[in-house]
Structure 1
Amino acid sequence: MTERETTRLIAWNNELRSVHRRLRDALAVAQAAVTDGGPSDDATRDLLLYCHGFCVALDGHHRGEDRALFPAIEAAHPDLAPVLRSLERDHSMIAHLLGELSAAVDRSASPAELSMHLDGVAAVMETHFRYEERQLLWVLDSLELHDAVSGVLGPL
């Protein structure tokens, strides 16, 4: 195995951690926009931007995992199928929560309601990320997947 191949293999592990970190940061920005935002039109536009941006990024990440990463992991490690199905169920639950958040943003819900939605997403997302990292990071150390990072882990 060449140094470049080894670097690519290790990078999947690092890429997943990096994407999770950026999504956590995006969530924090959206939460700050709700907390700090006022009744001005600028605050409303910022909130729409941050919340929609976060929703799109997280959903894109999960779609990439479902489409490319999880099938590659299952092909290499069929014994992980139950873990992957659990993670896919999490993705579905998070997608539902993101839909509820997006609808609340679209109807200009109160900051309290938006905070409630963001807190719910944050709780499920953090539990999901920790479980995923515990279960899959070791696999990513040796996974041979030659796709673009954005296609596998989302457009972040």
Structure 2
Amino acid sequence: MASPSRGEDRTAALSLQLSSAHQDLRRRLAGLRANLGRPRPDGDGDDALRAHCLAFCTALTSHHQGEDDGLFARLLRERPDLAPTIAKLVEDHGLITRILTRVRDLADRAAATEPGTGLEAIGRELDGLAAIMDSHFGYEERALRAALDAGVHDDGWSAPVLRFRAPPAPAPGNPSP
């Protein structure tokens, strides 16, 4: 039996890399939820909340845009039989985007009002987001595992999907964008 080439090794690991990226996003959301409402030692409470929300929202949005514009587009070219599955995943991305928009809006309002205002509403949105993300990620991993492990040409889609980056946190004393 011939051993796989380095390119094939990388391709075979794509489903594991996708799962790892999803785990990273789950950890980021768990950290955001765990720290919601906790006083910040720097006294930058709601601005820090906005910065953390922005960083998380940006990372998740980057990941999903990379999937929609890159990975899913590539899969549709190579595996048109996955069209119904991919349509469902893209639909989920739209739902998640709407929740992220509400989280951003609530975090902006919380920063513009008295400290601590609106944290309960943000917490509810984050709880709902966590449940939807967990279901979405599990379905995506199961539905795409075989296609990913069979090999998907990487024409640049992997960077935003697997190695997404959040924007840097604002410097102390500077408001987040």
> After TM superposition, is the score higher than 0.5?
yes
| Maintained 8 Å contact 2:12/2:148 | yes
Q: Note the residue ranges of structure 2 that are not aligned, 5 or more in a row.
A: 111-116, 166-177
Q: Give the TM-score taking structure 2 as reference length.
A: 0.80
Letter in 1 for 2:136: H
Q: 1:119 aligns with which of 127, 132, 147?
A: 127
Is 118-127 or 144-153 further displaced after alignment? 144-153
CA 113–151 in structure 1, closer or farther in 2 if over 3 Å, else same: closer
* Count of aligned positions: 156
Structure with more of its chain in helix, by fraction: 1
1:50-129 matches, cutoff 5 A: 50-108=52-110, 109-129=117-137
How many angstroms apart in 2 are the aligned matches of 1:96 and 1:152? 20
Alignment correspondent of 1:150: 159
Cα shift at 1:115: 0.3
* Aligned CA-pair RMSD: 2.0
Q: Give the TM-score taking structure 1 as reference length.
A: 0.90
Deviations 1:41-90 (A, max 9, x none): 42223211211111111111000000010011112221110000000000
Cα shift at 1:36: 2.6
Letter in 2 for 1:82: P
Q: 1:45 aligns with which of 44, 47, 58?
A: 47
The percent identity for this pair of structures is 35
Letter in 2 for 1:19: A
Q: Which has the larger radius of gyration?
A: 2
Alignment correspondent of 2:20: 18
Alignment correspondent of 1:32: 34
How many angstroms apart in 2 are the aligned matches of 1:75 and 1:152? 18
Alignment correspondent of 1:9: 11
Q: 1:137 aligns with which of 129, 145, 148?
A: 145
Cα shift at 1:11: 2.8
CA 36–94 in structure 1, closer or farther in 2 if over 3 Å, else same: same
| Maintained 8 Å contact 1:97/1:121 | yes
